[in-house]
Amino acid sequence: MKKRLFCLAVLGLSASASGVTLAETQVVMLGTGTPVPDGERAGAGVAVIHDGEAYVFDVGAGVVERATQAAERFDIEPLSPINIDHLFLTHLHSDHVLDYPELLATYWWRRSDQLQVIGPPGTHAMSEGIYTMLADDTETRLKDKSPVTNPEAAHAAVTEISGPGTVYEAGEIRIDAFPVSHGDWDEAYGYKVTTPDKTIVISGDTSIDAEVQRQAEGADILIHEVISRSGWADLPEQWQAYHQYAHTLSDELAGLANAARPDLLVLYHVLHYGAPIESALEEVQQRYDGEVVLADDLDVFR
Ligand SMILES: [Zn+2]
Ligand SMILES: [Zn+2]
């Protein structure tokens, strides 16, 4: 039987008003944007909330602000930045990581636990760069009279992914990483989150990829990037070549969705250029009759 999935924001309901409890796994879209400036959309970021914990996938510019808004608006306390203990990075393009220093630094002196970060090779070096950027702030806070809960919380605990497989497992949640093809990145990853009530697949940035399709077969929710075919068609030839190499065109995504048949397909990180953003959704719907939505920041799916 098809599971009932709905989007609270589309229904105009708040989580608390609709009686949502944190016992059920839910997805909160913290950022649906791209490198193209968009005042309505933060950089890439998706939170999966399960059993009182937030698992955040990518942290583009503005994502920490969105997490704070979600915590306040939907009464999801695990999304208060100080409560976010788990960050997973798909790859290190700027639109996926620019709020990493923000997440690390926000109220770090009140953190009891270090931020746990799992990401591709390069995550260690990037973290060291952030520590250097914030070195004076860290040092000053440690030596002045304001209390610091855990001095180690100024830095993250970083694990670099060394290949596909399970990267996190605790209680009833398991998170697997799988490689995706994204332009010239040697290692870019998608993630699959499995809990007792949901399977959620997050593509990250990827060109059309059989591995994403394989991971998404039978998933409850597939969150996938997309580029509008009509927006792409008007780009100069060199940009067309790049985008086809690095991203997934709307009709290609429709083909993937037809093969994988997730219960719900969520479009995020939508590149559309001169075409309206809705063109990406319409182009997918022309070739795919399953449930599909174009996500906005702070949409909630469960
Ligand atoms: Zn991106
Ligand atoms: Zn990218």
- CATH code (residue 289): 3.60.15.10
Whether residue 222 is found in the same domain as residue 242: yes
Maximal CA-CA distance, the chain: 62
Whether residue 146 is found in the same domain as residue 70: yes
Whether residue 98 is found in the same domain as residue 246: no
pLDDT digit string, tens, across residues 112-138: 999 999 999 999 999 999 999 999 999
Q: Separation of 198 CA from ligand 1 center, angstroms?
A: 25
Whether residue 44 is found in the same domain as residue 154: yes
Report residues near ion ligand 2: CB below 5 Å. Answer: 93, 205
Q: In this structure, is residue 300 part of a structural domain?
A: no
Contact 44, 269 (CB under 8 A): yes
Ligand approaching nearest to the C-alpha of 34:
1
Ligand approaching nearest to the C-alpha of 183:
2
Ligand approaching nearest to the C-alpha of 91:
2
The residue out of 166, 195, 224 marking a domain boundary is 195
Q: In this structure, is residue 50 part of a structural domain?
A: yes
Whether residue 174 is found in the same domain as residue 220: no
Whether residue 89 is found in the same domain as residue 124: yes
Domain of 71 in residue numbering reads as 23-195
The residue out of 154, 169, 195 marking a domain boundary is 195
Q: In this structure, is residue 37 part of a structural domain?
A: yes
Residue for token pair 């970083």: 158
Q: In this structure, is residue 17 part of a structural domain?
A: no
Whether residue 44 is found in the same domain as residue 188: yes
Instruction: List the alpha helices (DSSP H) in 7-99.
Output: 8-11, 63-73, 94-97
Q: Separation of 206 CA from ligand 2 center, angstroms?
A: 8
Q: Separation of 252 CA from ligand 2 center, angstroms?
A: 18
Q: Separation of 237 CA from ligand 1 center, angstroms?
A: 20
How far is residue 258 from each of residues 190, 252, 263, measured CA to CA in Å? 19, 10, 11
Order of all β-strands in the sheet with 300-301: 157-160, 116-119, 86-88, 53-57, 45-50, 26-31, 300-301
Whether residue 70 is found in the same domain as residue 172: yes
Q: Is 257 left (phi over 0), alpha (psi -120 to 50) or beta?
A: alpha
Whether residue 35 is found in the same domain as residue 174: yes
Whether residue 39 is found in the same domain as residue 177: yes
Distance in angstroms (rounded) separating the CA atoms of residues 97 and 57: 10
Q: In this structure, is residue 91 part of a structural domain?
A: yes
Distance in angstroms (rounded) separating the CA atoms of residues 239 and 36: 14
Q: Separation of 35 CA from ligand 1 center, angstroms?
A: 6
Q: Separation of 19 CA from ligand 1 center, angstroms?
A: 34
Identify the burial level of 78 via C-beta atoms within 10 angstroms of its C-beta, where 0-12 means exposed, 13-18 middle and 19 or more buried: buried
> What tokens were used for 263?
């219960």
- pLDDT, the chain, mean: 93
Contact 215, 203 (CB under 8 A): no
pLDDT digit string, tens, across residues 232-277: 999 999 999 999 999 999 999 999 999 999 999 999 999 999 999 9
Considering its fold, how many domains does the chain have in total? Answer: 2
Ligand approaching nearest to the C-alpha of 44:
1
Q: In this structure, is residue 79 part of a structural domain?
A: yes
Report residues near ion ligand 1: CB below 5 Å. Answer: 93, 95, 205
Is the full-model pTM beyond 0.85? yes
Q: In this structure, is residue 1 part of a structural domain?
A: no
Whether residue 189 is found in the same domain as residue 219: no
Q: In this structure, is residue 12 part of a structural domain?
A: no
Reported as a pLDDT band with limits 50, 70 and 90, residue 146 is: confident
Q: Separation of 121 CA from ligand 2 center, angstroms?
A: 15
pLDDT digit string, tens, across residues 36-86: 999 999 999 999 999 999 999 999 999 999 999 999 999 999 999 999 999
Q: Separation of 110 CA from ligand 2 center, angstroms?
A: 32
The residue out of 160, 175, 195 marking a domain boundary is 195
Whether residue 29 is found in the same domain as residue 174: yes
